[in-house]
Amino acid sequence: MLRKCKVLLIGLVLVLAMTLPVGSSVVAQRNFTIALVPGMSAHPFYFAMYAGAKKAADELGIKLVWQGPSEWDFAKQSVIVRGLIARGDIDFLLFVPCDSKANIPDAQEAVKRGIPVIILDTSLDSNDALTLITSDNFKGGEIAGEALAKAIGYKGEVALMAAMVGEAQIELRYEGFRTAIKNYPDIKLVSTQYSQDELNKATAQMQSVLLAHPNLAGAFGVSTTTAHGAAIGIRNAGKLGKVMLVGFDAQPLEIEDIKRGLMQATVAQAPFAMGYLGVQFAYDYHMGFITEFPKKVSTGCKVITAENVDDSEIAKWIYPTEAPK
């Protein structure tokens, strides 16, 4: 019976091979071009995103175009998106909007021209994209809160070293962090500072918080800049080893801070997975394998500490330093 099934299966494959246009799937792949527009072109987070997207594109045999602004600027990003749309050879847009509102017309213009859009990492306040592939930032904030609670022995005063106000994804980190530490009655949030993601400002704010709260036990820096700035502030105040610090993201700078004892832990996102899934989803949609998407697809997080930072398993979570070529 098994032999008979094998013969029938082989026969079916041969029939399909004879009825399909020769090389049809290969042609579909070769002619399919995806554009990936990151928030910034020169940033380790987006280097990792590109690496994931490139891996998927190479596996599928399709073309990937990478182009983004040199700095976080929605206007410059808009010019890039409009230029890619005008090329006439872009079939799909993977987009990391710098501004959830100001970049809406860019996505709308792409869709108007018949170019489907998937949003990566940051959000867009419209329904023009098929889906959003991003970190669960609330969960990431919770994980950071738990890591800090553990580092300070589940008691003491802590500070939230924030970045911007109103950016949807980062606001979720604040909320997740606050939710986590509320589980511990002996932990008290005594200060929240907004640095606008400026290094010198984050450093000065950390030093000011330490002066106002000399018994501070720990702090959470919600981004690479705020975390590194807080680390410098703690060091300058002579509080290394006395004030525990948890960061967010896994840029080489933060990894070095952990190895030097300036930071106790950081919560790594998975930009590689965002890029990989973006390309895979785009291809599957193009081929008709997927016709509907969930509103949001969440990727995971990983806590990196001094104890595991050199583990081979952790290496894939650290963002690369090499820019795409």
DSSP one-letter string for 160-226: EEE--SS-HHHHHHHHHHHHHHTT-TTEEEEEEEE-TT-HHHHHHHHHHHHHH-TTEEEEEESSHHH
What pLDDT was estimated at residue 44? 94
Whether the Cβ atoms of residue 120 and residue 165 lie closer than 8 Å to each other: no
Q: Which position has the higher pLDDT, 258 or 26?
A: 258
Helix (H) or strand (E) holding 95: strand 92-95
Query: Is the pTM of the predicted complex or chain greater than 0.85?
Result: yes
Whether the Cβ atoms of residue 156 and residue 186 lie closer than 8 Å to each other: yes
Span 68-79, average pLDDT:
95
What pLDDT was estimated at residue 28? 45
Span 44-57, average pLDDT:
96
- Tell me the pLDDT tens digit for each residue of 251-286: 999 999 999 999 999 999 999 999 999 999 999 999
Instruction: Indicate if the pLDDT at residue 12 is higher than 50.
Output: no
Q: Which position has the higher pLDDT, 12 or 256?
A: 256
> How does DSSP assign 185-204, residue by residue?
TTEEEEEEEE-TT-HHHHHH
- Tell me the pLDDT tens digit for each residue of 211-240: 999 999 999 999 999 999 999 999 999 999
* Full set of structural domains in the chain with CATH: 25-129+270-299 (3.40.50.2300), 137-268 (3.40.50.2300)
- Tell me the pLDDT tens digit for each residue of 91-130: 999 999 999 999 999 999 999 999 999 999 999 999 999 9
- Tell me the pLDDT tens digit for each residue of 196-213: 999 999 999 999 999 999
- Tell me the pLDDT tens digit for each residue of 143-183: 999 999 999 999 999 999 999 988 888 999 999 999 999 99
Q: Which position has the higher pLDDT, 84 or 9?
A: 84
